[in-house]
Amino acid sequence: MALLVQKFGGTSVGSIERIEAVAERVIKARQLGHQVVVVVSAMAGETNRLLGLAKQIDAVPTQRELDVLLSTGEQVTIALLAMALNQKGYLATSLTGDQLGIRTDAVFNNATITVVETEVVTELLERDHIVVVAGFQGRDSRNNITTLGRGGSDTTAVAIAGALAADECQIFTDVDGVYTTDPRLVSEAARLSTIHFDDMTAMARHGAKVLQLQSVEYAERHQVPLRVLSSFDEGEGTLVDFSTVPSEGAAGVAVKGQQALYRVAQPLEKVEPQLGLLGFDAWCYGDSQQATYIVAADDELARLNVIFEKTELAQPSVATLTLVGEGVEGNSAKVAALLTEKGVGVYQQKSAARCVSLLINGQDLQLAVEHIHKKFVVEPESLDNRPLLAVS
């Protein structure tokens, strides 16, 4: 018997039929003898419907009240899922963030969990209940309703798993696991059966969307094994933990498309801290004329102009490609050379622990990722596995 925390996102609970299917999925785990805590998001579309109501009243609605409004979305889902479980003959009880005891700081719309109380949920689990919890929400120390930032329900699930020392936190999503690269770009992309936390963090930071960076980092810090599974199909998914990964080859290639290169006429050491203050996790580098180049999504010009009076669009279409895995740091020159050989426009390259990143021409993204994926993941003999010595 294991203690599992299972998280289902908005698409997985997007209709009554889907909620019934989630109930069956949860029951399957229960029938195997596991204790289950289920964390759910608002039904797909519901958050946007609520936001639409708020925007009719105020283009920039009061942040506190927006959280009061949006938190109803998950509350609807927990009630319906608990009803479905009850109707199928299983004990189940829903808990809002505050009923479970999820305490956060007071940053409305982007709160951080500070404490997860375990008394109520533990007592329900001991009485054989399936516990259905509203993701994405909590209460601050003054009892105001708060909502978490992006990927909020994942974070709720991981935080509960950490507090309960659960055996696994299972994130159900619309793909069946973590892939070596984006399968929409590369047909040879393959599902990983396991991936190391450090590699998963790097993949998420550099563009893999299957898990939110914050939740992976939180899980790593609290040593909560994560498993990514499909809501719709059977399968083992991908386990994210601390096990040593096979040493041949890189773990994967993360990509970020639809990026642009922006130029600000200020030196790097002035630009970087300003970006950081606003939570911009952007690749940037300086040139010899004391200007700074920033890589960011191709619709961010307006937002950058709020920070820097005059931002220029230096290149409208660029992309980043990041080779991730133990010992890849030594391969940046090799990766760049392989791409240049293929005619890919390479503008910049950088290395960090378990990462080699390249800034390339946006039009060349598919060609580039196919090639690097083949050379370092599918045919891992290419990897020059001597970290640090060969850094170029």
Q: Give the footprint of a second copy on this chain (CB under 8 A).
A: 16, 19-20, 50, 53-54, 56-58, 61-62, 64-66, 68-69, 71-72, 75-76, 78-80, 82-84, 86-87, 93-94, 96, 98-99, 120, 143, 145
Q: Which two tokens stand for residue 107?
A: 């940053």
Q: Which is nearer to a second copy, 137 or 311 (CB)?
A: 137
Is 184 annotated for ligand binding?
Answer: yes
DSSP state at residue 278: T
10 Å Cβ neighbour count for 345? 15
Q: Which is nearer to a second copy, 36 or 69 (CB)?
A: 69
Q: Which is nearer to a second copy, 80 or 166 (CB)?
A: 80
DSSP annotation of 365: H
Nearer to a second copy, 16 or 32 (CB): 16
Minimum separation from the CB atom of position 73 to a second copy (A)? 8
Least separation in angstroms between CB 71 and a second copy: 8
Minimum distance of a second copy from residue 253's CB (angstroms): 42
Asked if 47 contacts 73 with a C-beta cutoff of 8 angstroms, the reply is yes
Q: Is 33 annotated as a binding residue?
A: no
Least Å from the CB of residue 155 to a second copy: 22
Separation CA 353–CA 355 (nearest Å): 5
Q: What is the helix (H) or strand (E) element at residue 244, kind and residue range? A: none
Q: Is 285 annotated as a binding residue?
A: no
Q: Provide the token pair at 34.
A: 């596991």
| Of 19 and 160, CB closest to a second copy | 19
Whether 230 and 172 have beta carbons less than 8 Å apart is answered as yes
To the question of whether residue 173 is assigned a binding role by annotation, the answer is yes
CB of 96 to a second copy, least distance (A): 8
Q: Which residue has the tokens 């805590």?
A: 37
Give Cβ neighbours of residue 143 (< 8 Å, ≥ 6 apart).
98
Distance CA 211, CA 311 (A): 31
10 is in an annotated binding site: yes
> Does 340 count as an annotated binding residue?
no
User: How many CB atoms within 10 Å of residue 259?
Assistant: 26
Q: List residues forming the annotated binding site for ATP.
A: 7-10, 173-174, 179, 184, 209-210
